[in-house]
Structure 1
Amino acid sequence: MSPSWITVFLDFASDGFEEGVGFWAAVTGYDVSASRGDTDQFATLLPANGDAFLRVQRLDEGTDRIHLDLHTPDPRAAADAAAGLGASVVAEEGLGYVVLRSPGGLTFCFVPHAAATRPGPTAWPGGQSSLIDQVCIDVPSSSYERECEFWRDLTGWEPRASAVSTDFSSLLRPDGQPFRILLQRLGEEAGPTRAHLDWATTDRAAETERHVALGARVVDTRPVWTVLADPNGRAYCLTDRDPETGMLG
C-alpha cells in the first residue's frame, strides 16, 4: 500500500482563498496553474523543476486546514486496506479517488495520478536555500500511539525516533518522495488530529526575514525551528534541517 507519491493540499476557507494562494505562491516562488473544478476551486503550485507536490483548494465551508493525497495505482483497493487499519471512508467521488479520515480525524485521499521526480530546493537572493519537505501530523496525546501506528502501517515507511524530543517521531522517507512525515504529540489530551507544513532551510534567520517581508508573522522561536503564521493565520515552521537530505546537520 506504500504510496508512490504524496501531495499536500492547502485547503482555504472561501474568504481567504485569494490572499492565501497569493502568499504561498510568492513564498515558494512557484507559479499557479489555471484553476479547475466545477467552481474553479482547485489549482496547483508549479515548481521550477520536478513534479508538483503542492495544491490548493477553496473550501465551501470550514476553516483552513491541510489534507494529504496519497498516490497509488488502485485507490479503491488502497481505501479498503486503510479501512482495515482503522480509517473511515468519507466519500468516493466517482472520479477515481477516495476521501478518508485517519483514526484521529485527519482527512486524506487516495488518488491515481502519476508523479516521480522530487523538486529541488530554491536558492534565494539572500544566499539561503529552502524547500517545503515535511508534513507534521499534530496529534493529541490520547490518540498519539494509535495515529503513529496507523501512518506507519498505511505508508509502510520505517519509524524513526526523534533526536530532538520524545514528543516527535518520524517515518523514514523513501528516496524520491517529496515529503517526510513527522508525528508530533501535542500537550492537549483530546481533540482532532491535524497537520502543518515544515520547511527545511540552510539559513533560518534569513529565511524568516524573507517570509516576514512577504506577509508572514513570527509566532515562536525554538532552538531548531521557528513557528510562523501566514496572512490568514495558518501556522507552519521553518527548520534547520538540510533541504537536500531533510536531516538536521
Structure 2
Amino acid sequence: MTAFLDNAAAHHHESVGFWQDVTGYALSAPRGDDGEFATLLPPDGDAYLRVQRRHQGGDRIHLDLHVADPQAAARAAVAAGGTFVVDRGYVVMASPGGFVFCFVDAPADRRPGATPHGGSSRSRVRQVAIDVPAPAYRTELAFWTAITGWTQRASTVTDDFRFLVPPEAERQPLGLLLQRLGPDDTGEVRAHLDWGTTDRAAETERHLGLGAHVLAVHPHWTVLRDPVGRVYCLTDGDPT
C-alpha cells in the first residue's frame, strides 16, 4: 500500500518541501502529463509515500493498493460495496463512504527502516488512519477488511479504533487504522497519516522546528498540523 499526499495546486511545493524535510527522504523527478506526481524516496525499502499536485480541489490523502491484477481487484471491490470510477491503466475506485483509492500493479512491500533524527529519536510514517463518520463505520470497516484480507485487531485505547494488520511476512510499509469519528462529525470519509516514534517529545520539537503546529496532546499520540494545514499524528507506535 502506498499513501498519496494530494495537494491543492496553490501550495503544492510548500507541502512537498515540508514532507521532504520531516521524513528526511529524497524527492524523485516529477512525472505525469503535467509533472504532477513525484515520490518520496526512503534510503532503503520500497517507496510508500507519494505526492500529487491536484488540478482542482483541496488537500486529501488517497491510497494505492498494489495488486497482481487491478481489474480483478476492482471487480471484487465493487462486489464488496465499492464504486468503480475510471480505468486509466490503474483503476480508480471509491469506498462505500466515498474515500478515493486506486488499484495498481507495481510491487511495494519492502518496509523501510525508521529514520534517525539525532539523539535517540527515530521515526517513520507507519499507518494510514481512515476517519469515518459513525453511521458509515461498520460498512467502511467491513469493506476495507474484505479488500485487503488483513486481520482486524482491537485497540487497547478506545473502541473507536480498529486496526487492520497485514501478515508480518509481507513486511508491508503501511498498516491501516479505521477510526470512528464523534457523533457531531458528519463530514466525508477521509484520512490522515500516523507516524511511529521512539521519542514523541523530541520528534514533536523537530516537527515544530520545521513549521508544524501542535493541535492536541493525548496520552498515546500528538495531533499536529503541517504548514499548509494538513493534520497528522505522532504516536508512540513502533516505527520499525
Identify whether the pair has TM-score above 0.5, normalized to the shorter chain.
yes
Aligned to 2:219, the other structure's residue is in SS state coil
Q: Does 1:55 align with 2:47?
A: no
The answer for the alignment partner of 1:151 in structure 2 is 144
Equivalent residue, structure 2, for 1:218 = 214
Mean Cα displacement is larger for which, 113-122 or 161-170? 113-122
**Residues 1:129 and 2:122 are matched in the alignment:** yes
Q: CA deviation at 1:101?
A: 0.4
**Deviations 1:77-128, CA, capped at 9 Å, x for gaps:** 10011000111011111xx210000001110000011223110100111321
* Number of the residue aligned with 1:242: 238
Secondary structure at the aligned position of 1:191 is classed as: coil
RMSD value over aligned CA atoms?
Answer: 0.8
Match of 2:192 in 1: 196
Aligned match of 1:100 in 93, 97, 116? 93
- Aligned partner of 1:166 in structure 2 is 159
Q: Which residue of 1 aligns with 2:226?
A: 230
- TM-score, L = length of structure 1: 0.94
- Structure 1 residue runs of 5 or longer lacking an equivalent are 1-5, 245-249
AA aligned to 2:220 is V
* Aligned-partner SS, 1:233: coil
Residue in structure 1 matching 2:64, options 69, 84, 91:
69
Q: Cα distance, 1:189 vs. partner?
A: 5.2
Alignment of 1:1-80 (within 5 A): 6-80=1-75
Q: Is the 8 A contact 1:69 1:110 kept in 2?
A: yes
Q: Give the 4+ runs in structure 1 shifted more than 6 A.
A: none
Deviation at 1:173, TM superposition (A): 2.3
TM-score with structure 2 length normalisation?
A: 0.97
Identity level (%): 58
Tell me the secondary structure at the aligned position of residue 105 of structure 1.
coil
Give the match for residue 89 of structure 1. Answer: 84
For 1:57 and 1:13, the matched residues in 2 are separated by: 9
What letter corresponds to residue 93 of structure 2 in structure 1?
L
| Aligned twin of 1:184 | 179
Contact 1:143/1:190, CA 8 A, preserved across alignment: no
Q: Render the CA deviation track for 1:24-67: whole Å, top value 9, x for unaligned.
A: 00000000000000000000000011110000000011110000
One-letter code aligned to 1:79: A
Instruction: Give CA-to-partner distance per residue, 1:137-176, whole Å, 9 cap, x none.
Output: 0000000011010001110111111100011111122220
Supply the distance in 2 between the matched residues of 1:16 and 1:107 (Cα, whole angstroms): 21
